[in-house]
């Protein structure tokens, strides 16, 4: 199962407080496909979500909600109020007006109610990516102005999101890991939040170790390459009987390098009998390389 399914299952299962019920249904209503006299329905890929929408509507307004399963490989569920009388009953009872373009905040009595509203919005039009693939939450919103108001509401509750315009409506998205965790907490998804944090921590640890390993590998190959060049130069000097003519400190460093081809400068300096520093050693090896270049010319 995907993270998105897990989180929708968890969110759909949360027991809603009385003060939050209107806000939750409002979130569903405002962000679902339709909530008007002609059609009241929620289309979702998540079965639990469809049933929780049904339960909420039927318990609050005593109406019938039909659930139809459709789609092939990826099934969809449509929870719909089929009777017109029931739809009118709902619309007469809700204490909010659906304008499609702005958010009626008088419904939010407490912070928990805002959380419930956002939860309804997510269940109606949201998607969460798996954190081991990417950090991302999307809300696919049918109206741009509504999307802007939603963005502001999220920001007021410590969730920083962004907006991108679509042909119809807009996408409100969140890409920062910590902001996604804030959103999950706001919506009340505690166990998925924890899983999400765990997975993202593991992912960032893996990235860090990979970077460190790449760095180590790069250092090792630099050491190997430098040692190879130095040995080639020293062998050339030996072959042309020029090594012994060099100052004694260069000869001893050349021998040290030939005897220990695999060592880094630091390891080589630790092995040196005349306790030479790394930079001193480096200087002498560079001097040998210069002499080699001169002779070769
Ligand atoms: Zn509440």
Q: How far is the CA of 112 from the centre of ligand 1 (A)?
A: 4
pLDDT given at position 274: 78
pLDDT given at position 289: 93
In a domain? residue 201: no
Q: How far is the CA of 16 from the centre of ligand 1 (A)?
A: 8
Secondary structure (DSSP) of 195-263: HHHHHHHHHHHHHHHHHHHHHHHHHHHHHHHHHHHHHHHHHHHHHTT-STTS-HHHHHHHHHHHH-TT-
Q: How far is the CA of 113 from the centre of ligand 1 (A)?
A: 3
Q: How far is the CA of 95 from the centre of ligand 1 (A)?
A: 15
In a domain? residue 67: yes
pLDDT given at position 96: 72
pTM surpassing 0.85?
A: no
Environment class of 116 (CB within 10 Å of its CB; exposed 0-12, middle 13-18, buried 19+): buried
pLDDT given at position 84: 94
Neighbours of ion ligand 1 (CB under 5 A): 17, 19-20, 110, 112-113
In a domain? residue 144: yes
Both 290 and 246 in a single domain?
Answer: yes
Q: How far is the CA of 157 from the centre of ligand 1 (A)?
A: 15
In a domain? residue 212: no
Both 87 and 163 in a single domain?
Answer: yes
Q: What is the pLDDT of residues 209-218, one digit of tens each?
A: 677 677 777 7
Both 140 and 275 in a single domain?
Answer: no
Q: How far is the CA of 114 from the centre of ligand 1 (A)?
A: 7
pLDDT at 140 over 80: yes
For position 161, which CATH number holds? 3.10.28.10
- Is there a contact between 141 and 129 (Cβ–Cβ < 8 Å)? no
pLDDT given at position 100: 67
Q: What total of structural domains would you count in the chain?
A: 2
In a domain? residue 56: yes
Nearest-angstrom CA–CA distance, 150 and 259: 70
Q: Residue 70 sits in which domain range?
A: 3-188
Nearest-angstrom CA–CA distance, 208 and 215: 10
Both 144 and 263 in a single domain?
Answer: no
Q: What is the pLDDT of residues 234-286, one digit of tens each?
A: 999 988 888 888 898 899 999 999 888 888 888 888 888 878 888 899 999 99
Both 259 and 133 in a single domain?
Answer: no
Q: What is the pLDDT of residues 81-125, one digit of tens each?
A: 999 999 999 988 887 776 767 888 888 888 889 999 999 999 999
Q: How many CA atoms lie within 13 A of 80 on its CB side?
A: 14
Q: What is the pLDDT of residues 47-75, one digit of tens each?
A: 999 999 999 999 999 999 999 998 777 88
Q: Which helix (H) or strand (E) segment is 291 a member of?
A: helix 278-296
- Is there a contact between 122 and 11 (Cβ–Cβ < 8 Å)? yes
Q: How far is the CA of 239 from the centre of ligand 1 (A)?
A: 87
Output the 3-class SS for 269-289: HHHCCCCCCHHHHHHHHHHHH
In a domain? residue 197: no
In a domain? residue 70: yes
Spatial strand order in the sheet of 162-165: 126-128, 137-141, 170-174, 162-165
Long-range contacts of range 217-220, CB-CB < 8 Å, 24 or more positions apart? 219/264
> Of the residues 188, 210, 242, which one is the last residue of a structural domain?
188
Nearest-angstrom CA–CA distance, 70 and 140: 21
Q: How far is the CA of 108 from the centre of ligand 1 (A)?
A: 7
- Of the two residues 245 and 173, the one the predictor is more confident about is 173
Both 48 and 121 in a single domain?
Answer: yes
- Is there a contact between 122 and 139 (Cβ–Cβ < 8 Å)? yes
Q: How far is the CA of 23 from the centre of ligand 1 (A)?
A: 8
Question: Per-residue pLDDT averaged across 41-51, rounded?
Answer: 92
């Amino acid at each position: 199962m995907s993270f998105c399914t897990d989180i929708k299952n968890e969110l759909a299962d949360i027991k809603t407080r009385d003060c939050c019920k209107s806000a939750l249904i409002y979130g569903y209503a405002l962000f679902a496909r339709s909530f008007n006299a002609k059609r009241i329905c929620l289309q979702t890929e998540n079965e639990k979500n469809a049933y929780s929408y049904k339960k909420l509507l039927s318990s609050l307004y005593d109406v019938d909600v039909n659930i139809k399963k459709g789609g092939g490989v990826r099934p969809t569920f449509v929870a719909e109020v089929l009777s017109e009388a029931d739809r009118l009953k709902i619309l007469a009872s809700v204490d909010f007006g659906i304008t499609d373009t702005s958010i009626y905040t008088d419904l939010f009595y407490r912070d928990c109610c805002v959380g419930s509203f956002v939860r309804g919005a997510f269940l109606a039009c949201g998607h969460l990516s798996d954190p081991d693939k990417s950090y991302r939450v999307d809300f696919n919103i049918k109206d741009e102005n509504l999307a802007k108001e939603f963005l502001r509401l999220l920001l007021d509750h410590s969730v920083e999101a962004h907006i991108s315009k679509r042909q119809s409506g807009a996408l409100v998205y969140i890409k920062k890991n910590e902001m996604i965790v804030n959103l999950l907490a706001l919506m009340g998804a505690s166990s998925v939040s924890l899983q999400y944090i765990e997975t993202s921590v593991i992912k960032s640890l893996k990235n860090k170790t990979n970077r460190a390993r790449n760095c180590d590998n790069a250092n090792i190959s630099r050491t190997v390459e430098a040692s190879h060049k130095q040995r080639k130069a020293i062998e050339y000097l030996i072959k042309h009987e020029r090594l012994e003519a060099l100052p004694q400190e260069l000869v001893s460093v050349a021998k040290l390098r030939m005897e220990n081809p695999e060592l880094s400068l630091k390891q080589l300096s630790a092995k040196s009998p005349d306790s030479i520093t790394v930079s001193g050693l480096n200087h002498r090896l560079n001097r040998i390389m210069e002499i080699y270049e001169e002779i070769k010319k």
